[in-house]
Chain A
Amino acid sequence: MLKMLGEYLILMFETFKRPDKGPVFRRQLMVEFVGLGVDSFGIVVIISVFTGAIVAIQTAYNIDSPLIPLTMVGFTTRQMMILEFSPTIISLILAGKVGSRIASEIGTMRVTEQIDALRVMGVNPANYLILPKITASMLFNPVLIIMSMVVGIWGGWFACVVTGLVTSTDFVSGLRGWFEPFTVTYAMIKTVVFAFIISSVSGYLGYNIKGGSVEVGRASTKAVVYSSILIIFFDLILTQLLLI
């Protein structure tokens, strides 16, 4: 475990160096924005819309006391999406989608000697391969998470209006009530930390593969498992630090 941590820190030290060529780095960054960010729009939208709808319906279903106003449905959906669902659950889904992609892409480059080729050319492979992925994830994941919040809340509203469980006026009223802007800041801090965990841990596991295609598969699975555990662990720590 300590050896792994040491290797990870050394790799991060190599990664966070000034890129050899600015234009090459910027081009790689654009490629990663598309591969890691834009390509994830679809899955984020679909999951967020449905989860927002489910949260809203479940909340409405559980309010059986006439003393609790139905505006609580909009309020609860908003809080659930902003505080936990969008930053944490979507990050866990991205750990599966993006993390496995990073680990298998870099791992395949390792077993086919492409990383050795970069190194003998005089290029810093960690910096060239991993830095654009970390940077793209940390810059683009907040966009995905904000989008998830918006479409998730819309999904909740849509479900309530279509099923007739809550009126649009009640839902929107709850949505606008007792809003604390810091909750969005908290969600963004979590998102950026989780983005770093997903991209750096997956990059590390792909970069240090020894062996062949079986190891690429293993690294890909490990990337998802390790990133998910670390996301949950840091979720707890950040919640303790930022909200209490």
Chain B
Amino acid sequence: MIEVKEVSKAFGDKVVLQSVSAVFEKGKTNLIIGQSGSGKTVLMKSCIGLIEPDEGVIRFDNRPFSRLSEKNKVDIRKEMGVLFQGGALFDSFTVEQNVMFPLNMFTNQTLEEKLDRVNFCLKRVNLENVNKLFPSEISGGMMKRVAIARAISNSPQYLFCDEPNSGLDPKTAEVIDALISEITEEYNITTVINTHDMNSVLQIGQHINFLYKGKLWWQGDKETILRAENPELRDFVFSTELTRRIKL
């Protein structure tokens, strides 16, 4: 479980997060949604330690991650898997080397053990026979799946996904969503997903946090979001033609 407590962040005069408190539950897909500029990315980057909050604390299973020194954060970071928006695969490494990277850095496994784990992870994300390809030789959807395989290769306790569907067609996006959801339940990990894709929200939103102008505006799940009375949330949810038709 990850607990975000009264987290605030400003860049100069621009306040991005205002006393945000939320709990991301274990074994569930926790979504952070909101319009562009609402503070989603800053909240996620605060959670993974790329941005220091000005106030408040972020706890990982009662460990105050945001208050630890860089050196002491490393132990918790080794328990994280992060799927970046663009995949962030190492472009000079093959797919196999990318997935093996966390194992090379943090385990003392033999090459055979590491290869077994790499092949297992790639198979888990429905990718086979791509081990020797470079990231530039695979499609956007495959890159995301390789990034997921890399994120889970070291058996993380926490999985963070930043806009996992950006740049993907609806069908591939659905596959990625389903994969993240399955992995979350299968390994009982705490998953936090940053998205503004309503398809994802309705497909895997077990616990949804809606940010509006840097504040936590609404919390709920995929069942309640369509019936919510909050006007800002309704404005966001029913902003596309597809969702407007669902509303009718």
Contact = CB atoms under 8 A, between A and B. Distances in A.
Interface of A: 20-21, 23-24, 108-109, 112-114, 116-117, 119-123
B194 to A, nearest CB: 13
B88 A114 contact: yes
Interface of B: 48-50, 73-75, 77-78, 80, 82, 84-86, 88-91, 101-102, 104-106, 160
A120 B104 contact: no
Contacts of B104: 21, 23-24
Contacts of A24: 104-105
A-B complex: 6 closest residue pairs judged by Cβ atoms:
A122-B77, A117-B88, A113-B88, A122-B74, A122-B78, A113-B84
Contacts of B48: 120
Nearest to A122: B77
A121 B84 contact: no
A119 B50 contact: yes
Contacts of B50: 116, 119-120
Contact of B84 (A117, A122, A123): A117
13 contacts: A24-B105, A112-B86, A112-B88, A114-B88, A116-B50, A116-B84, A117-B82, A117-B90, A120-B82, A121-B78, A121-B82, A122-B105, A123-B105
Given A116-B50, A117-B82, A122 B106 contact: yes
B17 to A, nearest CB: 19
A20 B105 contact: yes
A108 B101 CA distance: 19
A123 B160 CA distance: 17
A229 B49 CA distance: 37
Contact of A21 (B78, B85, B105): B105
Contacts of B49: 119-120
A117 B80 CA distance: 11
Nearest to A105: B92
Given A108-B91, A113-B84, A120-B50, 5 more contacts: A112-B91, A114-B89, A119-B50, A122-B73, A122-B106
Nearest to B79: A122
Contacts of A113: 84-86, 88
Nearest to A35: B92
B88 A121 contact: no
A130 B88 CA distance: 19
A23 B103 CA distance: 13
A114 B91 contact: yes
